[in-house]
A and B are shown apart, each in its own frame.
Chain A
Amino acid sequence: MSVIKIQGSDDTPTVVLDKENNIFEISGRSLPEDVVAFYNPILDWLSEYAKDPLDKTVFNFKLEYFNTASSKLLLDVLLKLEDINSAGHDVLVKWHYPDDDEDMEEAGEEYSDIVDVPFEQVPYTID
C-alpha cells in the first residue's frame, strides 16, 4: 500500500501514514488554506487502509495547534479509525499534548467522548 508522507509547514501538519512500517501520525500545526483539499487524500488513504488494516493500529496525534475547520476534519479522521476498530481490528489513538496546554488536553478529551475508540492522553514537556 502507498505511503503518505507530508512534511509539515507553518500552517499544515506533518502527516505520515505508513502501513508497512506501522507509523500513523499527524503532528504540528493545522490551519491550511483549504482544509478539505488537505485532508481528503488522508481520509481516502484511511478508507483504503480500512479494507485490510494491521492487527493493531496505533495512531499518534501530536498537534501544537489546529483551527476550528481542521477540528472537523480531524474528527473525520478519528471516525475512520472508529470504523476500523468496530470492524474488529485493534486501534489505539494516542493524543499527545504539551503538559501546560489545557486547551489541547481538553480537545483530546472531547474527541474521546465523541469517538468510540480506545484513546490514550499522553502529556509531554516542551523545553
Chain B
Amino acid sequence: MASIKDHKESLDFVYDFYVKMKRNKINLAYEGEITHQITKAFTSLTETNMAREEDASSVQKKVFHVMVECLQNISKHSESAPNGSAKDGRGIFMVSKGDTEYNVTTGNIIKNENVEKLRGILENINKLDKDGLNKLYKQQMRDGHISDRGGAGLGFIDIARKTGEKLLYSFLKIDSTNSFFVLTSTISRIKE
C-alpha cells in the first residue's frame, strides 16, 4: 500500500475503508498472524455477537465451526511472510453478515507449486453430495495422519458437509513463486 502522506489522505482512507466494510456488511476483518490466541478471541467475539442477534444455536455452532477450521487452515498452511520469521501463518480473515447468511472469507499466500493440488482437493469436495462428503470424511479420518503442522486434512470436507454449500475459492498469481488463495464459506442463517 502507498504510504499515507498527510492527515487528509489518512482520514479519507479510514472513511473509505469504513464505508466499504459497511457496504459489504463486514463485521470482522483482520490481517496478520493467525495464532491460537487470535482464533480463540475471534470465535468468542463472534459467539457473543451471534447470541445477541438471537441466531439459532445450530447456526451459531456452524459459524463457530467454520471460523475455527478456516483460522486453523491459515495458521497451519499459509506460507508465512516473505521474511519467514513468523511461526504461525499470516492471512486475511473476514466475517460478513447478510440478512440470510454469514460468510467467512480467508485469504493467504500459498506456493504456486501447491496450487494445483489444492485446486484438485477443493474441486473434488465440491463434486460430492452429503453422503459422498461423509464417506470421504470417514475415509480421511481413518487413513489420514496428523501432519507436522497439526492438521488432519479434514477441515474443507467438514466445512462443505456442515454448511451444505459449495466452497467458493480462487487463486490469484502474485509472482513466479506465490499465489493468493481466497476461500469463502457460506452459512445460511435460515434454519432448515
Residues on A close to B: CB < 8 A?
10-11, 31, 33-36, 65, 67-69, 71-73, 75, 100-103, 110, 113-114
In the assembled complex, the CB of B67 is this many whole angstroms from the nearest CB of chain A, namely 10
A33 and B158 alpha carbons, distance in the complex (Å): 19
Q: Are B150 and A68 touching (Cβ within 8 A)?
A: no
Given A11-B40, A101-B61, A110-B134, is A69 in contact with B150 using a C-beta cutoff of 8 Å? yes
Q: Are A75 and B64 touching (Cβ within 8 A)?
A: no
For the complex, is B57 an interface residue (Cβ under 8 Å from A)? yes
- Number of residues of chain B lying within 8 A (CB) of chain A: 28
For the complex, is B4 an interface residue (Cβ under 8 Å from A)? no
A71 and B72 alpha carbons, distance in the complex (Å): 14
**Given A75-B141, A75-B142, A103-B58, 13 other A-B residues pairs in contact with their CB atoms under 8 A:** A33-B36, A35-B146, A35-B152, A36-B146, A65-B61, A65-B65, A67-B68, A67-B69, A71-B152, A73-B146, A101-B61, A103-B62, A110-B134
CB neighbours of B151 from chain A (8 A): 69
Q: Are B150 and A72 touching (Cβ within 8 A)?
A: no
Residues on B close to A: CB < 8 A?
36, 39-40, 44, 57-58, 61-62, 64-65, 68-69, 72, 134, 137-138, 141-142, 144, 146, 150-152, 154-155, 157-158, 162
In the assembled complex, the CB of A95 is this many whole angstroms from the nearest CB of chain B, namely 16
- Output the nearest chain B residue to A10 by Cβ-Cβ distance: B40
Q: Are A69 and B152 touching (Cβ within 8 A)?
A: yes
A75 and B138 alpha carbons, distance in the complex (Å): 10
Identify which of A36, A68, A114 gathers the most chain B CB atoms within 10 Å of its CB: A68
| A–B complex contacts, Cβ < 8 Å, 12 sampled | A10-B40, A33-B36, A36-B146, A65-B61, A68-B69, A71-B158, A75-B141, A101-B57, A101-B58, A102-B58, A103-B62, A103-B162
A10 and B42 alpha carbons, distance in the complex (Å): 13
CB-contact partner of A100 in B57, B137, B154, under 8 A:
B57
Q: Are B68 and A113 touching (Cβ within 8 A)?
A: no
Q: Are B138 and A114 touching (Cβ within 8 A)?
A: yes
In the assembled complex, the CB of B143 is this many whole angstroms from the nearest CB of chain A, namely 10
A114 and B142 alpha carbons, distance in the complex (Å): 8
In the assembled complex, the CB of A108 is this many whole angstroms from the nearest CB of chain B, namely 13
CB-contact partner of A71 in B44, B62, B134, B154, under 8 A:
B154
A35 and B149 alpha carbons, distance in the complex (Å): 10
- Output the nearest chain A residue to B36 by Cβ-Cβ distance: A33
CB neighbours of A113 from chain B (8 A): 138
